[in-house]
Amino acid sequence: MKKPLFIFCFICSSLFLFAQSSGDAALSLIPQPVSIVQTKGSLVLPHQLSIYTDNNAEVNRIANSLSLQLASNFYKVKVVPDKKPLAKAIHLYLVSDKSIPADGYRLKISATGVSLSANSPSGIFYGVQTLLQLFPKEIVNKDGHTSVKQWSLPLVSIEDHPRFGWRGLMLDVTRHFFTVAQVKDYIDQMVKYKFNMLHLHLTDDQGWRIEIKSLPKLTEVGAWRVERTGTFGTFPKPQPGEKPTYGGFYTHEDIKELVKYAADRFVNILPEIDVPGHSLAALASYPDLSCTPGEYYVSPGDRFMVWPGGGQHFYGLIDNTLCPANEKVYEFLDKVFTEVAQLFPFQYIHMGGDETARNFWEKDEQIKALMKKENLKNLDEVQSYFVKRVEKIINSKGKKMIGWDEILQGGLAPNAAVMSWRGMSGGIEAAKSGHEVVMSPTDFVYIDYMQGDASIEPPVYSTLRLKKTYSFEPLPEGVNEKLIRGGQANLWTEQVYNMRHAQYMTWPRALAVAEVLWSPKEKRNWNGFVPRVEKQFERMDAAQVKYAPSLYDPIITVSKKDSATIIVTMDTEVEGLTIHYSFDNSFPDNFYQAYKAPLTVPNESAALKLVTYKGNKQMGRQMVITMAELKKRAGIK
Ligand code: ACM
């Protein structure tokens, strides 16, 4: 009786080992490395695992952090500062090798061990991120408890370096405040995909989020607003007697902690102080800084800016700008930028400069006097006068200035860099006149936009699907490529109330941005990217990071054939999905009719319901588009 059981167990365990060692033939790395050569077989790491280093302090720090990630209920991991690694260990070491480009690394996993070399600790750090993605997904379990007994790695030889040096995400901490712990967590997520820039949007109409010791009211008053929940932009303004209790700010100590946390992970933090527009929180604190005397409040998300037609033309119902004709404004900014420059080691400070409503300036006597005195022909030149003075202040603190592309209006400040958001053209114009540029155009990298159909996504005024983000090309033809520092995706948080939703909006679109900014252009391939995203979803599930499954939901186009007939055309972003639908109010599944050609909506139907499947597996979410919505989209009254 015993023998057959023994043989059975032997077969089971061999099958198990085979399954483990054959591993995942297609490595699911994001961003895709410059070159990968994979050979058959795997390296099974011993339970007493050592990470050897050549005792460089920064590499030791990276090794210590790696050891914490690899330790588990089955694994004891120690860091050994010794140049001669034993077999089946991990070896991280610095080299001096001109053939490895900046921030690059070489990673070799062979039957004898893991060897990771780079010219700089940053290269080692990026190599470690790649290495971590080669481990089974259970490695990301935060508590280190796993059912995976053995860490096994595929045998590979990887050479890698980034395409761009500026690989950023912007987090708006003004519309909703995120704590130091939450920002650290966001950094932890972004570094997995080799982002190296966190742009913090620190001031806006809805909150001033950084302590300025010489201007205490900025955080006593400006960091707090009345709380509103629902659809931002529709809220009532503060009512008489209502207490501003919602908000928060970072103290100097908080900022130092964040800067260090980011720097330890090779992330720079770019601080943004958004002026002269978007300044209600500053004005609520110091109303004298406005051209328009009055009482100001920190906006809870009421509608005080108007965009007739939704385009680039807008005006303010309240003057939310700092007054360019008021010398006190420059004294104020000198104080602000003195402290900001001391707190953030990064070479650039962002001064915003976007969406400045000038309808109050138009009629203002001080502005008219300034125009006369400085010979400024129009309001673009008034804005440019302001921006140039801000640049002087920022430069005087030993920093360079960057701003949104509106800073080009009326003439760009002499040393300024431009962050191009209203498309690429501002960036192209700036680069052609010799200025540095970061590309972050709305149509490719505005990750506050919905990522699928409005019937299922939390509502925002525009849509940006994953595939479009993946097609972002930051380097336009005909410009000096050295001036295009890179790109970034921007997460504005008007409609993002908490970190779970920030994650949902960020992932997977930031995976696409990570690959665009790191990997060679010629490696980009949408159909190859999707299965790798799916593998990252598994890792995010294991790490309990939220992401949007919108790539599985259909793309819906509604039109009309005649004044009463609605036609629905559908497509999918991902290959291999079937769309099933109903008009009879029931929820479709894979037994329902599959979409093949444009549908004529039965007039008497109440709603179109949809879902996508891959074979028998539901992939998309149940979607419901009411008849009223279909009519609206078709333009039928
Ligand atoms: C911006 O999105 N207003 C820069």
Residue whose CB lies within 8 A of the most ligand 1 atoms, among 174, 203, 408, 421, for a mutation test: 421
Ligand 1 atom nearest to CA at 442: 2
pLDDT (average), residues 600-616 = 97
Please check whether residues 42 and 94 belong to one and the same domain.
Answer: yes
Residue 316 Cα to ligand 1 middle (Å): 16
Q: What pLDDT does residue 153 have? A: 97
Please check whether residues 238 and 374 belong to one and the same domain.
Answer: yes
* pLDDT tens digits, one per residue of 475-486: 999 999 999 999
Residue 421 Cα to ligand 1 middle (Å): 7
Does residue 268 lie in a domain region?
Answer: yes
The domain spanning residue 558 has which CATH number?
2.60.40
Residue whose CB lies within 8 A of the most ligand 1 atoms, among 275, 355, 488, for a mutation test: 355
Helical (H) or strand (E) element with 438:
strand 437-439
Across the chain, what does the average pLDDT equal?
Answer: 94
Does residue 541 lie in a domain region?
Answer: no
Amino acid letter for position 17 = L
Beta bridge partners of 382: none
Answer yes or no: is the C-beta of 249 below 6 A from any ligand 1 atom. no
Residue 354 Cα to ligand 1 middle (Å): 6
Ligand 1 atom nearest to CA at 404: 4
Answer yes or no: is the C-beta of 446 below 6 A from any ligand 1 atom. no
Please check whether residues 234 and 318 belong to one and the same domain.
Answer: yes
> Do 574 and 552 form a contact (C-beta atoms < 8 A)?
yes
pLDDT (average), residues 255-282 = 98
Answer yes or no: is the C-beta of 421 below 6 A from any ligand 1 atom. yes
Q: What pLDDT does residue 5 have? A: 41
Lowest mean pLDDT among 163-167, 310-314, 368-372: 310-314
Q: What pLDDT does residue 22 have? A: 33
Answer yes or no: is the C-beta of 355 below 6 A from any ligand 1 atom. yes
Does residue 428 lie in a domain region?
Answer: yes
CA-nearest residue for atom 3, ligand 1, is: 354
Helical (H) or strand (E) element with 350:
strand 348-352
Residues carrying an active site annotation: 204, 278, 355
Residue 330 token pair: 């420059």
Please check whether residues 179 and 227 belong to one and the same domain.
Answer: yes
Please check whether residues 502 and 374 belong to one and the same domain.
Answer: yes
CA-nearest residue for atom 1, ligand 1, is: 354
Residue whose CB lies within 8 A of the most ligand 1 atoms, among 279, 351, 354, for a mutation test: 354
Give the number of residues written for the chain: 637
Lowest mean pLDDT among 79-88, 162-171, 366-375, 552-561: 79-88
pLDDT (average), residues 12-28 = 44
605/557 Cα distance (integer angstroms): 18
535/550 Cα distance (integer angstroms): 16
At which residue do the structure tokens 């499954």 appear?
A: 549
176/537 Cα distance (integer angstroms): 26
The single-letter DSSP state of residue 554 is: P
Q: What pLDDT does residue 265 have? A: 98
310/301 Cα distance (integer angstroms): 18
Please check whether residues 150 and 181 belong to one and the same domain.
Answer: no
Per-residue pLDDT band at 143 (split at 50, 70, 90): confident
User: Residue 102: how many CB atoms within 10 A of its CB?
Assistant: 12
pLDDT (average), residues 167-175 = 98
* pLDDT tens digits, one per residue of 396-455: 999 999 999 999 999 999 999 999 999 999 999 999 999 999 999 999 999 999 999 999
Amino acid letter for position 399 = K
Please check whether residues 142 and 203 belong to one and the same domain.
Answer: no
Q: What pLDDT does residue 6 have? A: 40
Per-residue pLDDT band at 312 (split at 50, 70, 90): confident
Please check whether residues 426 and 408 belong to one and the same domain.
Answer: yes
Residue 237 Cα to ligand 1 middle (Å): 22
Q: What pLDDT does residue 429 have? A: 98
Does residue 4 lie in a domain region?
Answer: no
Q: What pLDDT does residue 168 have? A: 98
624/585 Cα distance (integer angstroms): 9
Q: What pLDDT does residue 141 have? A: 77
Checking 292-298 for CB contacts under 8 A at 24+ apart, the result is 292/319, 292/360, 292/364, 294/319, 297/225, 297/237, 297/238, 297/244, 298/205, 298/206, 298/207, 298/208, 298/221, 298/222, 298/223, 298/224, 298/225, 298/244, 298/247
pLDDT (average), residues 75-100 = 93
Q: Going along 458-604, which residue ranges are E strands?
A: 484-491, 555-562, 565-571, 578-582, 599-600
User: In 496-524, which positions are buried (b, 16+ CB within 10 angstroms) versus exposed (e)?
Assistant: beebebbbbbbbbbbbbbbbbbbbeeebb
Residue 574 Cα to ligand 1 middle (Å): 30
Per-residue pLDDT band at 119 (split at 50, 70, 90): very high
The domain spanning residue 227 has which CATH number?
3.20.20.80
Per-residue pLDDT band at 503 (split at 50, 70, 90): very high
Ligand 1 atom nearest to CA at 492: 2
Count of alpha carbons within 13 angstroms of residue 423, beta-carbon side: 5
Ligand 1 atom nearest to CA at 419: 4
Amino acid letter for position 380 = D
491/173 Cα distance (integer angstroms): 9
| pTM of the predicted protein model | 0.95
pLDDT over 60 (residue 12) = no
Answer yes or no: is the C-beta of 449 below 6 A from any ligand 1 atom. no
32/515 Cα distance (integer angstroms): 6
Q: What pLDDT does residue 2 have? A: 39
Please check whether residues 514 and 602 belong to one and the same domain.
Answer: no
Share of the chain above pLDDT 70, in %: 96
Q: What pLDDT does residue 21 have? A: 32
Answer yes or no: is the C-beta of 354 below 6 A from any ligand 1 atom. yes
The residue segments making up the domain with residue 352 are 166-519
Is the preceding omega at residue 598 within 30 degrees of 0, hence cis?
no
Number of domains observed in the structure of the chain: 3
Answer yes or no: is the C-beta of 404 below 6 A from any ligand 1 atom. yes
pLDDT (average), residues 35-42 = 96
pLDDT over 80 (residue 142) = no
Ligand 1 atom nearest to CA at 278: 3
Per-residue pLDDT band at 569 (split at 50, 70, 90): very high
pLDDT over 60 (residue 243) = yes
Answer yes or no: is the C-beta of 436 below 6 A from any ligand 1 atom. no
Ligand 1 atom nearest to CA at 490: 2
Q: What pLDDT does residue 409 have? A: 97
Query: What CA–CA distances, in Å, run from 603 to 289, 570, 596, 626?
Result: 58, 19, 20, 12
Domain boundary among 476, 496, 519: 519
Amino acid letter for position 36 = I
Does residue 543 lie in a domain region?
Answer: no
Does residue 524 lie in a domain region?
Answer: no
pLDDT (average), residues 492-501 = 98
Distance of CA 358 to the CA centre of its chain: 30
* pLDDT tens digits, one per residue of 342-352: 999 999 999 99
User: Residue 5: how many CB atoms within 10 A of its CB?
Assistant: 9
Please check whether residues 383 and 238 belong to one and the same domain.
Answer: yes
pLDDT over 60 (residue 7) = no
Residue 406 Cα to ligand 1 middle (Å): 10
CA-nearest residue for atom 2, ligand 1, is: 421
Per-residue pLDDT band at 23 (split at 50, 70, 90): very low
Per-residue pLDDT band at 24 (split at 50, 70, 90): very low
Lowest mean pLDDT among 16-25, 62-71, 623-632: 16-25
Helix spans in 420-487 (H) = 425-432, 442-445, 466-470
